[in-house]
Amino acid sequence: MADNQHPGQSFGESEFLRWLHDSMPISKSALVPNGDDAALLSTTDRGVLVATDMFLDGTHFLALQTTPELIGRKAVAANLSDIAAMGGWPQSVFISLGIPGNTTREWIERLMIGAAATAREFQCGIDGGDTNSWSGPLVVNVCVTGSPHWRGAVTRSGAQAGDCVLITGKTLGHSLETGRHLRFRPRLQEVRWLMDHFKIHSMMDLSDGLATDLPRLSDASGVGITIDAKQVLGIAPATDSELQAALCDGEDFELVFTCSKADAQTIVKRFPFECGIRQIGTVTAGRGVKIIPLTGEPASSLAVQGYEH
Amino acid sequence: MADNQHPGQSFGESEFLRWLHDSMPISKSALVPNGDDAALLSTTDRGVLVATDMFLDGTHFLALQTTPELIGRKAVAANLSDIAAMGGWPQSVFISLGIPGNTTREWIERLMIGAAATAREFQCGIDGGDTNSWSGPLVVNVCVTGSPHWRGAVTRSGAQAGDCVLITGKTLGHSLETGRHLRFRPRLQEVRWLMDHFKIHSMMDLSDGLATDLPRLSDASGVGITIDAKQVLGIAPATDSELQAALCDGEDFELVFTCSKADAQTIVKRFPFECGIRQIGTVTAGRGVKIIPLTGEPASSLAVQGYEH
């Protein structure tokens, strides 16, 4: 990886690149792994999924207030979550670094160890990337490739009126305060089980909060969605401030998806994973996202309720 | 693209994302284009090439001294050059942005217009990415996928003793002073012709200068390489300072490759492209890179000659 030593690089790059070459896991699908101008990955006739996300010091993490391992973990895990949201399984991870001039090699190696451990958990390799020193704060860009399920990719645009809306996990909100945004586990095994046994109509991961993300799914599918505040809260106390956190905090990295009512009932009954799963609403004809408030009054628009991000 | 509006974003993102959605070219291989959690791309049974490079203000460009279009152009072109160096053809471009807080939407749109124009030149789409505002300088990360040639991918490790070493372009060096590092044209058409008609044994693109890049090729292949200073200089005046620039400046983005002597003679005779091509040396048994100096004295080690990057 990191074949391009661009002008301006100063920290012990050549040792770092050698260390990377010796330490990083290589994916099984890498026909030509890192160290060349590009990696060559084997694919199936179903094509390849590609997702990318950039993580910036001060915005997505605070380099001085967390460990480098957790920064590496989060950057990889958030990208793996995007592959999960398409119903797929990840293969190869590519990591580009913009490293502040005063960073030690040991600190960056710890970041890469966190990234590699997360990749390994899901049988992925770190198959390439790019390393640069600069005068700005830490930047970590991750690009991940994945393999679609044999049923195909699940998009945001397949929700159908009559579907149930389900969500993984026991609760939403407070991800930043609790550090969950650094430690969450991408729902890959859960998705594989769902895809193997059921027909998932539409899916996305929750990065910005239900109040922002659900309208994207409803718009992409051209349907309406009605959610129930009590079901959204899961195990949290049923207060308006908890509801606000659940809808708006973001960085939950849980999956929200829709499927038929019959499938939803079986999924909720048989879901074998610790993270839990629950129904939070239904897909309707029409447009827009509505919410049944905690008081149980009739559903009204999420935007009118003031929950828009 | 850019589905993740992370915390900390402030400039007119939703309008920008809508503009991107309406303005960016989509590649022919995109089965699910940007706007979902990941893109789904069709591939052949030869697999997929993946390259990534990060471009940082102050290191790879100076945001205040160049146009945003040229920054977008360079970021895409350098990645396309990596696909060319593998003997492949690019498909899909993914662009992640870290945008300084005071940047106008118009400026960033111009950057993306430059990126899109470069992608279109080579029949690629901008099939995804990620947009973020932050307090640091401009960051542009590009990831590109490509399709290998039917002959397979060309790596750095296939050079054979007896091969000739060839290079595209008329001259090397001074890329930063002349602005060529912003305006260079990736050698994709040239590579397609080479791959269609000849057996290229090894190849890479010149991003750090011959003195840095050739030892990588020689190490990866386990061979020696001897280059001739006069041939390296091409059309430049044959002075030692020009030689230093040609070997060490970097950011040339020309291709260096090796093939049999018979193929090399035909290539030099029949090469139909304006950029030109020439032989600069030969592959030998043994290890290390040597250079025949301008004086015509016997070849000595490039490192001993002081041309190491």
- Model pLDDT, residue A7: 39
| Measured distance CA(A192)–CA(A216) in Å, rounded | 23
Q: Are the beta carbons of A124 and A158 closer than 8 angstroms?
A: no
* Chain A residues inside the 8 Å CB shell of B130: 52-54
Distance between CA atoms of B213 and B249, rounded to whole angstroms?
A: 11
CA distances (Å), A80 to each of A87, A187, B98, in order?
Answer: 11, 9, 21
CA distance A128 to B43: 19
Residue of B nearest to A93 (CA): B50
Parallel/antiparallel/unpaired status of strands B202-205 and B255-259: antiparallel
Encoded tokens for A133: 């020193």
Q: In the β-sheet with B288-292, what is the strand arrangement from edge to edge?
A: B202-205, B255-259, B164-168, B277-284, B224-228, B288-292, B300-301
Range B147-166 average pLDDT: 97
Question: If you average pLDDT over residues B295-304, what whole number do you get?
Answer: 89
Which pLDDT value is given to residue B4? 40
pLDDT in tens, A83-103: 999 999 999 999 999 999 989
Q: CB-hemisphere CA count at 13 Å for B305?
A: 24
Looking at the complex, report in whole angstroms how far the Cα of residue A268 sits from the nearest Cα belonging to chain B.
24
**What digits encode the pLDDT tens for the residues B123-141?**
999 999 999 999 999 999 9
A59 and B31 in contact by Cβ < 8 A? Answer: no
Q: Is the Cβ–Cβ distance between A244 and A193 less than 8 Å? A: no
> Distance between CA A82 and CA A102 in Å, rounded?
32
From the CA of B19, how many Å to the nearest CA of chain A? Answer: 16
User: pLDDT, tens digit, for every residue of B88-128?
Assistant: 999 999 999 999 998 999 999 999 999 999 999 999 999 99
Q: Kindly determine whether residue B212 and residue A5, on different chains, have CB atoms separated by under 8 Å.
A: yes
| Closest chain A residue by Cα to residue B157 | A36
pTM here is 0.94
Of B48, B94, B127, B207, which to mutate for an interface test with A (greatest number of A Cβ within 10 Å)? B48
Position B289 pLDDT exceeds 70: yes
> pLDDT tier at A309 (50, 70, 90 boundaries)?
low
Question: pLDDT tens digit string along A55-87?
Answer: 999 999 999 899 999 999 999 999 999 999 999
- Residue of B51, B94, B208 with shortest CB distance to A38: B51
Domain boundaries of chain A, sorted by first residue? 13-147, 164-297
Nearest C-alpha neighbor of A98 from the set B269, B229, B97, B190: B97
Task: Give the model's pLDDT for residue B6.
Answer: 41
Region A285-301 average pLDDT: 94
Q: How far is A300 from chain B (nearest CA, A)?
A: 24
**Alpha-carbon dihedral angle through residues A73, A79, A82, A88, given to the nearest 10 degrees:** -90
pLDDT-based confidence at B3, cuts 50/70/90? very low
Tell me the CA end-to-end span of chain A in Å, nearest whole number: 38
* Nearest-CB residue to B96 (from A128, A129, A141): A141
The arrangement of strands across the sheet holding B125-134 comes to A30-32, A39-41, B48-56, B139-147, B89-100, B125-134
At B222, the pLDDT band (50, 70, 90 cuts) reads very high
* Helix (H/G/I), strand (E/B), else coil: A68: helix
- Looking at A33-37, A297-301, B200-204, B226-230, which range is the least confident one? A33-37
A–B CB contacts, 8 A cutoff, strictly below: 246
Q: Which of A32, A82, A143 comes nearest B52 by C-beta?
A: A143
**Domain A164-297 in this protein, CATH class:** alpha beta
Task: Tell me the chain B residues in contact with residue A207 when contact means C-beta distances shorter than 8 Å.
Answer: 3-4, 6
Q: Which of B37, B174, B175, B202 to mutate to test the interface with A (most CBs of A within 10 A)?
A: B37
Domain B164-298 has CATH 3.40.50.300: no
A 10 A CB-CB count for A180 gives 18
Is the distance from CB of A256 to CB of A225 less than 8 angstroms? no
Nearest to A257 by CA among A177, A108, A187, A156: A156
For A162-186, how does the pLDDT look when each residue is reduced to its tens digit (9 = 90+)? Answer: 999 999 999 899 999 999 999 999 9
Per mean pLDDT, which range of A4-8, B148-152, B216-220, B236-240 is the poorest?
A4-8
Given an 8 Å threshold on Cβ–Cβ distance, is B3 in contact with A216?
yes
Cα angle: A88, vertex A233, A272; to 5 degrees: 45
Q: Which of B52, B58, B204 sits opposite A128 (nearest CB)?
A: B52
Which one of A4, A252, A253 would you mutate to disrupt binding with B, by most B Cβ within 10 Å of its Cβ?
A4
The beta strands (E) that lie in chain A are given as 30-32, 39-41, 48-56, 89-100, 125-134, 139-147, 164-168, 202-205, 224-228, 255-259, 277-284, 288-292, 300-301
Residue B244 reports pLDDT greater than 90: yes
Of all residues in chain A, what percent carry a pLDDT higher than 90?
Answer: 86
> Does the distance separating the beta carbons of B250 and A58 come in below 8 Å?
no
Work out the angle between the directed axes of helices B68-85 and B105-121 (0-180°, nearest 10): 30
User: What is the spatial distance between Cα A208 and Cα A38, in angstroms, rounded to a whole number?
Assistant: 32
Q: Smallest Cβ distance to B98: which of A40, A139, A176?
A: A139
> Domain A13-147's class?
alpha beta
Task: Give which of A5, A9, A37 to mutate to test B binding, by max B Cβ within 10 Å.
Answer: A37
Residues ≥6 apart with Cβ < 8 Å to B24: B1, B34, B112, B116, B125, B126
Q: Which of B209, B199, B172 is nearest to B87 (CA)?
A: B199
